[in-house]
Structure 1
Amino acid sequence: MNAHFLETFFNGQNDYLHKHLGSHLIKNERGEIVATEFLVYAPHAKRVFLIADFNHFSEANEMEKISHLGFFYLRFNHSLEWSMYKYKIYDKDGNVHVKNDPFGYFHEVRPATATKVYNIDDYHWNDSKWIYEKKKPYQKPLLIYEMHLGSWQQKFGTFKNYNELADDLIAYLKKHSFTHVEFLPVYEHPLDDSWGYQGTNFFAATSRYGSPKDLMYLIDRLHQAGIGVLIDWVLGHICKDSHGLFKFDGSYLYEYDDNLRRENLDWGTANLDFSKGITRSFMKSALTFWMDYFHVDGFRIDAVSRLIYYLGDPNKGTNQEAIRFLRELGLHLFHKDDRILFMAEDSTDYAKVTHPVSEGGLGFNYKWNMGFMNDTLSYFKDDPIYRKYNHHKITFGMHYAYSENFILPYSHDEVVHMKGSLLNKMPGSLENKLSQWRILMTLFMTHPGKKLLFMGSEFAQRKEWNFRTEIEWELLAFEEHQKANKYFIDLARLYKNNTPFYKFDHESRGFEWLVVDDKDQSVFAYMRKSNRAAYVVVLNMTPNYHEFYRIGVPFKGEYTEVLNSNYSIYGGWLDVSKPQVLESIDEQELGFSQHIRPTITPFSAMIFKLQKK
């Protein structure tokens, strides 16, 4: 540790704590491990012992206090790779705290909690083509598959290893045209029920799915297949289990000192204090570590509302220290890689979340559009006869669609805790539910904004998500779900391969309403545009049939139906070999000089491609 390390650690500018703190295997010039070093920061400790399997977890090895600032050090002149250890900390009041290593790279499988000495450095990556060629996301298709590693696919009712998932997951993502996969938190956490959101060790891939290098292999393979990898990250609060970061040396070292700001009573977690330089350095180093060692392409930051406001409550005031850190962190991450995805899960109306820091923004480049999610799902839950009274829930989103860079999220949060699956939010018979699910997927895929979908929703899973079991793969044995899945596959391919659906997601020139106020019929129509192409999307939210429905269009030409959710191959009854081909008519309609007259079947979504004349 030199002066620069210490200065940056305490002022919040250090992004490489993991290179010094924790356990490290020391190699000679031939690459042979010749020593093992341990370094821990515990400023309120009086004494620290390294208790480990090689000393029977006794106090045989006391660590040396090498600085009045609170660093304790121990060296062994041989390899201790794979040894298990903890720190036994006596604080200044004589209390004992047994902790695993907050900078450890690998830990025992829960419920055991010891850290393992691990060689993190010798994985050979093969993703240089991906790293070199990946692009900024703004004018590219972005279709994210959100997944929980433990319940996507299991083996005899137990978790699969990271590397066991690679072949099936890659083939599945490519078949469904997903551009990225987003893992629910994969850093170490003690409780399966938390899904990873109550973490204890932020520099360690959870051992419940294998070793860190197993995860590196999975990410490497995904990159080689052209698929980006994102991870969920809880930045603002930590698990309070006694072996973790909480009260690490007997003091509130990284968290708030006062109960009011520290305690998350809803979740039983402790809020971190970003006015402390060591807390900022800790989290900055952790995200840097995942970029450097795991090659992740981005982070979705959880519960940003609780970073912007104390305890997520605007009445308690803005948390200026956390806001400053978010800006600082964003600048740091984009300096490392300006193609990264830095996404905020934020339910507030706080302004400029995705604007650059130089313009007064928070510095994210994407924000989950919680308004779109809530409004659309609320609308689709309504009996169709009442939808006309909530027509605005489909149209209102376009009033603010360009105020931020949005991702449209149908995430895990919408299919748990008795909320039901996306399919079972729909009213009516199974046939009607599936018809409306296809409309919802069409709206999702063609509305301005990038896309995120939780696993299982791509084949219309019936049950809500249960993290203890794998998703309902057995449904794909049934024809109706095979057809639903085929619809999603064809819809996603149409989205990914056609620029009008994504190029101008964040500019008003990419979207135009054609039918916006037909409340009584609950019909919507809009155009998606790029420089040289355009598509018309028509949605019928009721079981009513409309023959020769008039839709104004801005361009003269031929409009050919390229997708209809009521084709028989998707579960409807229409003949896919007989798409509608419509010539625009030189008569005004709703302010447009041209119009088309499609036949609109009940509960349907249609997409027409324009050939200008």
Structure 2
Amino acid sequence: MSRTHNFKPVEGVSRFSEFDIFLFKAGKHFKLYDKLGSHVMEHEGVVGTYFAVWAPNASAISIIGNFNGWNREAHALYPRWDESGIWEGWIPNIGRGEVYKYFIKSNNGQHLEKADPFALWCEVAPKTASIVWDTWYEWNDADWMEVRKDKNKLNAPISVYELHLGSWRRDPSDPERYLTFHEIADALVPYVQEMGFTHVEFMPVMEHPYPPSWGYQITGYFSVASRMGTPQELMYLVDKLHQAGIGVYLDWVPSHFPGDAHGLYRFDGSALYEHEDPRKGYHPDWKSYIFNYGRNEVRSFLISNALFWLDRYHTDGLRVDAVASMLYLDYSRKHGEWIPNEFGGRENLEAISLLREMNMAAYKEFPDIQTIAEESTSFPGVSRPVFVGGLGFGMKWMMGWMNDTLKYFEKDPSFRKWHQDQLTFSLVYSFSENFMLPFSHDEVVYGKGSMVNKMPGDEWQRCANLRLLYSYMFTHPGTKLIFMGCEFGQTSEWAFQKSLDWHLLDYAPHQGIKNCFKSLNELYKSEPALYEHSFSPEGFEWIDTQDRENSVVIYARKGLKPAENVVVVLNLTPIPRPDYRVGVLSEGTWEEIFNSDAPEFGGSGVGNYQEVATDNKQWHGKPQSVQLNLPPLGALVLKKAEK
């Protein structure tokens, strides 16, 4: 195959118009993935590849790869005339599958070999080169795309299964081998369907050379993790989930990036994507680098990246990682280690502006998606619209609820009566944001213990406590998220380098937890009172929080129709409580529609197996009440019986 050496810019091959350059320099170009990077193009009947890279501090750039023997002099790129800092060129007779890097000579004398920031695929680590690829795929999810606006709306049931795809399952014949995206699809889709989740959330699927980072140290923001397959194989996984009626959220990490030599760090010999000053550009927690959110070209890069995954991969939303670290200039920094904003405050005004613009762009282009913030502070308006001063996210993780709830449930039941406020406090602020209730990967690593082993007592009590905890979660206002393995009571902490302990499902207690979780998903989706007012106070009413001595808590969830309202009773001790009187919302006959102590869940079977008629006896401030058998460490959900 012939090669053209020392080639000149080819007339008519550039993918940039003057307007593209204007938008890029203004920080308003949100589809840079159509322009920068490598693109197979035909010119005058010859197929070749166009390359474009932003490197304003470069004095020379060339393309090196297998096709030219990694010769730094063979194929030079040329800077555009418009002072955009973009270098471009077209090489004939190379195409999909070619391995390449940019060789960059910087103005300060450095010689660098860099992967393409816009590469769509790359070599498997420890190799670090980019690969010319495309995102062509014949999608079969038209039915899902038509209805996802209803599946993703804020008054719909949203129950999310969070996964680290590299450790959900491994190849049983070779536990060291990652399953491919294609192989995972064949096992994951039926499992998620069986369990009744509405969505999955994938921990980062972007290229990250260091597996212990779990994907949060990204070097290829537009590339899928090559150790698990091609872009098309990830699309297949998304497609299969969509065909099964399951939404897909992706973790997105605009908060920091690693200092790998082939990555974004000092890309052209200067602090191009990051800040020069380490007080703004270095992240002390993760030993990584913080994007320069005030640089327009970096804003175009980040917002383009967010829209890329929504556009080319048909994903249904983004969970944005570590938002708190972006919002505050003094995050994890001591006095003197940070620079105040122009008004003397600690808020990172440039990051706030970027997040608002990202959310506006995402919802404008894809109005039926969701963006979800992992944000752990009391920053106001995270999930409020930009036009009222909010950040514009659709939802925010309810970290305070998660921490308080786990602290409460970790206590021995005999001491819970002195800590009941810890359980009920969340309703003081539950409707200040659109909250998602998360039990994520962060709660089952680094010595925190697995969910089931956080619970006190013997094995039966630990399992009962866990079923009770999940029942409380599913009946509390807010959408839901659970990390893989927690749904069947994984006993060991999560380990990214191996499969979940699926063999535990051979044992009745774990099968019972799984059955309970499956039933809770079905209850949540089938009872409108549990989701129609997830983010507004009219959907919730306390009935009783004062029985601290018995550690019993009672509340109602309300939907649009009074006939669909439910009453929830939590007995937070292992003592059964027969003939316990409960005030209910209206006169009539009530039935038990869920009991976490059911035998099929591994429970003791204490419950109310017949409909219960109200007494004309005032209780808990209600004119009507019923007498119930409260199961040990159990949750009951009651609903008015249909006439």
Place the TM-score, normalised by the shorter chain, in its bin: over 0.9
Secondary structure at 1:599's aligned position in 2? strand
For residues 523 and 38 of structure 2, what CA distance do their matches in structure 1 show? 50
Which amino acid letter does the alignment assign opposite residue 482 of structure 2? Answer: L
Q: Could you tell me which of 621, 626, 631 is aligned with 1:591?
A: 621
For residues 575 and 51 of structure 2, what CA distance do their matches in structure 1 show? 71
For residues 574 and 451 of structure 1, what CA distance do their matches in structure 2 show? 27
Q: Is the 8 A contact 1:562 1:579 kept in 2?
A: no
Q: Could you tell me which of 193, 205, 226 is aligned with 1:174?
A: 193
For residues 119 and 332 of structure 2, what CA distance do their matches in structure 1 show? 34
Q: Could you tell me which of 471, 474, 482 is aligned with 2:511?
A: 482
Aligned length: 609
Task: Verify: 1:552 aligned to 2:583, yes or no.
Answer: yes
Q: Cα distance 1:524–1:33, how it changes in 2: closer, same or farther (>3 A)?
A: farther
Structure 2's unaligned 5+ residue stretches are 1-15, 341-345
State the Cα distance separating 1:28 from its structure 2 match: 7.0
Task: Verify: 1:262 aligned to 2:281, yes or no.
Answer: yes
State the Cα distance separating 1:311 from its structure 2 match: 4.5
Q: Is the 8 A contact 1:99 1:243 kept in 2?
A: yes
Task: Verify: 1:97 aligned to 2:112, yes or no.
Answer: yes
For residues 99 and 274 of structure 1, what CA distance do their matches in structure 2 show? 22
For residues 515 and 84 of structure 2, what CA distance do their matches in structure 1 show? 61
Root-mean-square deviation over aligned CA pairs: 1.6
CA deviation string 1:478-504 (max 9, x = no partner):
111112211111121111111111111
Q: Is the 8 A contact 1:166 1:218 kept in 2?
A: yes
For residues 126 and 18 of structure 2, what CA distance do their matches in structure 1 show? 39
Q: Is the 8 A contact 2:363 2:369 kept in 1?
A: yes
Secondary structure at 1:574's aligned position in 2? coil
Q: Could you tell me which of 185, 191, 196 is aligned with 2:215?
A: 196
Moved over 6 A (4+): none
CA deviation string 1:425-457 (max 9, x = no partner):
001111110010010010011110000000001
For residues 139 and 158 of structure 2, what CA distance do their matches in structure 1 show? 24
Q: Could you tell me which of 62, 66, 91 is aligned with 2:76?
A: 62
Q: Cα distance 1:311–1:246, how it changes in 2: closer, same or farther (>3 A)?
A: farther
Which amino acid letter does the alignment assign opposite residue 51 of structure 2? Answer: F
Aligned match of 2:167: 151
Task: Verify: 1:37 aligned to 2:66, yes or no.
Answer: no
Q: Is the 8 A contact 1:20 1:39 kept in 2?
A: yes
Secondary structure at 1:102's aligned position in 2? coil
Q: Could you tell me which of 263, 276, 279 is aligned with 2:295?
A: 276
For residues 242 and 79 of structure 1, what CA distance do their matches in structure 2 show? 26
Secondary structure at 1:139's aligned position in 2? coil
Deviates further, 397-406 or 65-74: 65-74
Q: Is the 8 A contact 1:231 1:300 kept in 2?
A: yes
Q: Is the 8 A contact 2:606 2:630 kept in 1?
A: no
**Normalising by the residue count of structure 2, what TM-score does the alignment of the two structures yield?**
0.92
Q: Could you tell me which of 79, 95, 102 is aligned with 2:94?
A: 79
Aligned match of 1:126: 140
Q: Is the 8 A contact 2:606 2:631 kept in 1?
A: no
Which amino acid letter does the alignment assign opposite residue 273 of structure 1? Answer: N
Aligned match of 2:522: 493
For residues 323 and 264 of structure 2, what CA distance do their matches in structure 1 show? 21
Q: Is the 8 A contact 1:25 1:33 kept in 2?
A: no
CA deviation string 1:110-133 (max 9, x = no partner):
11110001132x311111111111
Q: Is the 8 A contact 1:557 1:612 kept in 2?
A: no
Which amino acid letter does the alignment assign opposite residue 218 of structure 1? Answer: L
Which amino acid letter does the alignment assign opposite residue 585 of structure 2? Answer: P
Secondary structure at 2:289's aligned position in 1? strand
State the Cα distance separating 1:71 from its structure 2 match: 2.1
Secondary structure at 1:549's aligned position in 2? strand
Q: Is the 8 A contact 2:284 2:332 kept in 1?
A: no
Task: Verify: 1:449 aligned to 2:478, yes or no.
Answer: yes
State the Cα distance separating 1:365 from its structure 2 match: 1.1
Structure 1's unaligned 5+ residue stretches are none
Q: Could you tell me which of 30, 41, 51 is aligned with 1:15?
A: 30
State the Cα distance separating 1:545 from its structure 2 match: 2.4
How much identity, in percent, do the aligned residues show?
40
State the Cα distance separating 1:240 from its structure 2 match: 1.1
For residues 226 and 396 of structure 1, what CA distance do their matches in structure 2 show? 35
Q: Cα distance 1:607–1:111, how it changes in 2: closer, same or farther (>3 A)?
A: same
Aligned match of 1:184: 203
State the Cα distance separating 1:573 from its structure 2 match: 2.3
CA deviation string 1:151-209 (max 9, x = no partner):
00111211100011112111111111100000000111110000110111111111111
State the Cα distance separating 1:342 from its structure 2 match: 0.5
Aligned match of 2:4: none
For residues 108 and 55 of structure 2, what CA distance do their matches in structure 1 show? 14
Task: Verify: 1:330 aligned to 2:345, yes or no.
Answer: no
For residues 48 and 587 of structure 2, what CA distance do their matches in structure 1 show? 76
For residues 271 and 105 of structure 1, what CA distance do their matches in structure 2 show? 23
Q: Is the 8 A contact 2:464 2:633 kept in 1?
A: yes
For residues 261 and 332 of structure 2, what CA distance do their matches in structure 1 show? 28
For residues 569 and 629 of structure 2, what CA distance do their matches in structure 1 show? 10
**Normalising by the residue count of structure 1, what TM-score does the alignment of the two structures yield?**
0.97
Deviates further, 195-204 or 306-315: 306-315
Aligned match of 2:596: 565
Secondary structure at 1:362's aligned position in 2? coil
For residues 116 and 130 of structure 2, what CA distance do their matches in structure 1 show? 6
State the Cα distance separating 1:33 from its structure 2 match: 7.1
Deviates further, 314-323 or 492-501: 314-323
Q: Could you tell me which of 134, 153, 163 is aligned with 1:137?
A: 153
Equivalence map 1:206-285=2 (5 Å):
206-285=225-304
Q: Could you tell me which of 495, 515, 533 is aligned with 1:466?
A: 495
CA deviation string 1:43-67 (max 9, x = no partner):
1011112110111212122222233
Which amino acid letter does the alignment assign opposite residue 75 of structure 1? Answer: W
Q: Cα distance 1:53–1:39, how it changes in 2: closer, same or farther (>3 A)?
A: same
Q: Is the 8 A contact 1:556 1:612 kept in 2?
A: no
Which amino acid letter does the alignment assign opposite residue 214 of structure 1? Answer: E
For residues 63 and 311 of structure 1, what CA distance do their matches in structure 2 show? 41
